[in-house]
Amino acid sequence: MSTLRRQRNVKIVATLGPASDSYEMIKNLWIAGADVFRLNMSHGTQADIARRHGMIRQLEKEIGRPISILADLQGPKLRCGVFANGPVTLTEGAKFRFDLDPAEGDESRVCLPHPEIFEALEPGATLLVNDGKIRLRVADCAPDYANMIVEVGGDISNRKGVNVPDVVLPLAALSEKDLSDLEFACELGIDWLALSFVQRAADVYEARELADGRAAIMSKIEKPAAVKAFTEILEASDGIMVARGDLGVELPVHEVPPIQKRLTRGCRAVGKPVIVATQMMESMISAPVPTRAEVSDVAAAIYEGADAVMLSAESASGDYPIEAVTTMDNVAISVESDPTYRQIIEAQRVPFRQRVSDAITVAAREVAETTHVKAICCYSHSGTTALLTARERPRVPIIALTPLARTARRLVLSWGVHCVITESVDRFKLAVVGAARAARQYGFAGEDDKIVVTAGIPFGKPGTTNILRVAPCSEQAIYEGGSED
């Protein structure tokens, strides 16, 4: 099983939960096609998270392949208070009041125990309740209340979620729970940390400082403020998750698809992985097959060049977790086999040649596409070489070789990257030998084939990709000097 290789470039992220809470199920999800496992810190205890983490690492040892683990922090949750006599129906045009009074609510008011919201509100701002099902507009407000006009009515009940899409809230992205979960997850040894409620780059830098290199930081773009500040947030992050569920609540739904395309292309331009997430195959929570619209949705993200597509409740609490992963895998293979896919991917390629490392990875892709080279092999400690190569979206497979398990696990998330943990080397020829062995072992090339090998000299210094060699896959030919520049 250790020689298994995917027949696609896009990666699949599967969320674990009650439906996938056994070693056997996690193993079957990986066999079906899951490359990355998401641990949702919003659900379950830290003990639950630790147990699932342990099962994933046990599977990693059994199969002999690196597996990536993403811990998704909950973020601050804004909720209204409770009602004295059960749910209240708000009708269009009616008046309603949010305030800081802890008394139980009624038809005219309810507590909103978040003074930060009142500090930021202005007349005309919008509040959304219960995932956007109820929409209210601020008529007037003060530091301790907001009088609202109901624009879209519905039933409001105890502790329903509240969204404030129009303003940047003076709230930290990390709640007390998040701070505890962040430290716990980093000590556990997760690979990626997904940060919720990001509004500004400062939120990302705070999480990065707390993680202190123990995990890569993935910013979830789920608020209008984050879309506006995307360039700065992307610069501060190691990766991006397009969290379309919350975006679709806080923004008109018709704005989400073009935003998804812009964010995906922005990530690709700088060589940082991007996950497209939420409701990708929602109907498979209770059905063994998806809708045609859901298949098209997944395909659209793949055509756009996303590094990964994600399953949430489909694999965490649904009735058909393995079928959901299998279907997503089949969709990916079908899309990437379509000649139109290559046309789209290559038309979107953005020239980015500011450094020697950029030029080397561009050259590697061009050499691979104009000769009979079977794979591009990147030897890297930090993973930078592999990320830059993945940015090019080459037609041949990418093999990332690194002596660091941490680097290999993080790179699992990236488009087209097959990760191999190898021995540390101090000479480029030894890196070439290791690359040839990996290409043969995992079925990317045979003895008579050639590969492209890139690396940074001196080894171990990030961002120094500066050497490229076309090499034979035969070890004997390498040692006999058969490599050519």
Cβ neighbourhood burial of 350 (10 Å; 0-12, 13-18, 19+) = exposed
pLDDT of residue 358: 87
Catalytic position from the list 109, 220, 391, 440: 220
Is-catalytic flag, 278?
Answer: yes
Is-catalytic flag, 220?
Answer: yes
Residue-wise pLDDT tens for the chain (485 aa)?
A: 555 789 999 999 999 999 999 999 999 999 999 999 999 999 989 999 999 999 999 999 999 999 999 999 999 999 999 999 999 999 999 999 999 999 999 999 999 999 999 999 999 999 999 989 999 999 999 999 999 999 999 999 999 999 999 889 999 899 999 999 999 999 999 999 999 999 999 999 999 999 999 999 999 999 999 999 999 999 999 999 999 998 999 999 999 999 999 999 999 999 999 999 999 999 999 999 999 999 999 999 999 999 999 999 999 999 999 999 999 999 999 999 999 999 999 998 877 667 888 889 999 999 998 998 999 999 999 999 999 999 999 999 999 999 999 999 999 999 999 999 999 888 888 999 999 999 999 999 999 999 999 988 887 777 678 899 999 998 777 777 644 44
Q: Rounded CA gap, 389 and 168, in Å? A: 36
Catalytic position from the list 57, 79, 265, 395: 79
What are the structural domain ranges in the chain? 11-75+173-337, 88-163, 356-479
137 CB-side CA count, 13 A: 9
**Rounded to the nearest 5°, which phi and psi values hold at 132?**
85, 0
The SS3 of residue 388 is helix
Is-catalytic flag, 340?
Answer: no
pLDDT of residue 48: 96
Is-catalytic flag, 370?
Answer: no
pLDDT of residue 352: 64
pLDDT of residue 3: 54
Strand 88-90, strand 154-156: pairing: antiparallel
CA-wise closest residue to 249 among 273, 230, 222: 222
Architecture of domain 11-75+173-337: Alpha-Beta Barrel (3.20)
**Per-residue exposure over 297-328, b if at least 16 CB sit within 10 Å of its own CB, e if not:** bbbebbbbbbbbbbbbbbbbbbebbbbbbbbb
Architecture of domain 356-479: 3-Layer(aba) Sandwich (3.40)
> pTM for this one?
0.94
Catalytic position from the list 27, 38, 200, 469: 38
CATH code of domain 88-163: 2.40.33.10
Catalytic position from the list 15, 264, 278, 327: 278
The SS3 of residue 368 is helix
